[in-house]
Amino acid sequence: MGPRPTEDPRPGEVVLDADPARSDDARLCFIGRLATPWSRGNCPKNLMQARARGGAFSALIDPPFRPGLQGLEAGQVVILLYWTGAARRDLIMQSPAHRDGPAGVFSLRSPARPNPVAVAVVRLLEIDADAGLLRLDAIDAFDGTALVDIKPWLPGVDVPPADR
């Protein structure tokens, strides 16, 4: 449980009365870490920017979880869930610089949210299951970010049907 953020909210932002970071209602186990060239101050805001800037990106899976990589293949698209735990968790309304006014956290992809789980749809470029190494096409997270889960991206499931 982290300390309550000390930054003042921007105009239009709303802070929750209780910081979710101080809650004890969920248990996660991180399955590994992300290796990226990014740190505070130079991290792209999204995957499109990360792909445009390029670099070496990988997920390093901890030994107990490496058998779970069986069935993944190079070239496959996967969904990564990762924990942006350094982000604020007490903002429910935010005023991002790219918007004209405040917006609810659930309408944004910002890492600042009650549960700082980020999602990225990436392509696996290379897999070394024995070493727990997944080389990725891109990722927009700080180096060392905790990895929560990996799921296959399934076009028949993950693409909503077209409007009729």
**Average pLDDT estimate for 68-93:** 95
- Give the tens place of pLDDT for each residue, 29-66: 999 999 999 999 999 999 999 999 999 999 999 999 99
**The pLDDT value given to residue 128:** 98
Give the containing element (helix H, strand E) for 94.
strand 91-94
pLDDT band at 22 (very low <50, low <70, confident <90, very high): confident
Overall average pLDDT of the 137-145 stretch:
97
Per-residue confidence (pLDDT) for residue 1, from 0 to 100: 44
Average pLDDT rounded to a whole number, residues 70-92: 95
Q: How does strand 133-136 pair with strand 57-61?
A: antiparallel
For the whole model, what pTM was predicted?
0.86
Domains and CATH numbers, the chain: 26-156 (2.40.30.70)
Which residues lie below 8 Å from residue 104, measured CB to CB, with a gap of 6+?
92, 93
